[in-house]
Amino acid sequence: MQLRESIPDLSGATNWLHQEIRNEELEHGLPVLIHFWSVSCDSCKRNIPILNSVMEAHKGKIQVIAVHMPRSEKDKDLKQVIQQAQKYNIVQPIAIDDQYSLAHSFAVRTVPAYFLFDGEGQLRYKQTSGSARLLKKRIERFVD
């Protein structure tokens, strides 16, 4: 994905946890963070508490959607995804991307990956790998 591109269609998700989200349901005017993760990704798990603190600090100012992108067949075990979501307190909607439709639309090859869209749905920042601390700074500048 290139900067200024619109949020890709989210309907390609295999399944949803917590709540299904469609593009037309995204709240106009609020930024959207979409983050890709996997149950077998240690870096993803280390970053989730940072994301949770950002979400809590900016509740009502940003919409967050998680996308579970399996890195192996074993990662496709939905029970394991649910268990890890509970363990790491991932309470936002989680798109299950077992067919890699969303990964393809967002051009994601590795996790974690983060996409920050403005209130008009245009991509303003993307990050693959790395610490969520940099992402946290970007989000804070964006929503404040």
The structural domains of the chain, with segments of one domain joined by +, span: 10-143
Residue 102 clears pLDDT 90, i.e. is over it = yes
Secondary structure letter of residue 122 according to DSSP: B
Q: Which amino acid is at 74?
A: K
Residue 29 clears pLDDT 90, i.e. is over it = no
Q: How far apart are CA 44 and CA 23, in angstroms?
A: 25
Confidence of residue 143 (pLDDT cuts 50, 70, 90): confident
What rounded mean pLDDT belongs to the chain? 93
Confidence of residue 93 (pLDDT cuts 50, 70, 90): very high
Average pLDDT over residues 4-22: 94
pLDDT at 141 (0 to 100)? 85
8 cis-preceded (ω within 30 degrees of 0): no
Question: Is 112 within 8 Å of 134 (Cβ atoms)?
Answer: no
**98 Rama sector, left if φ>0, alpha if ψ -120 to 50, beta otherwise:** alpha
CATH of 10-143, one of 3.40.50.300, 3.40.190.10, 3.40.30.10, 3.40.50.10490: 3.40.30.10
Q: What are 59-80's pLDDT values in tens digits?
A: 999 999 999 999 999 999 999 9
Q: What are 105-128's pLDDT values in tens digits?
A: 999 999 999 999 999 999 999 999
Prediction pTM value:
0.94
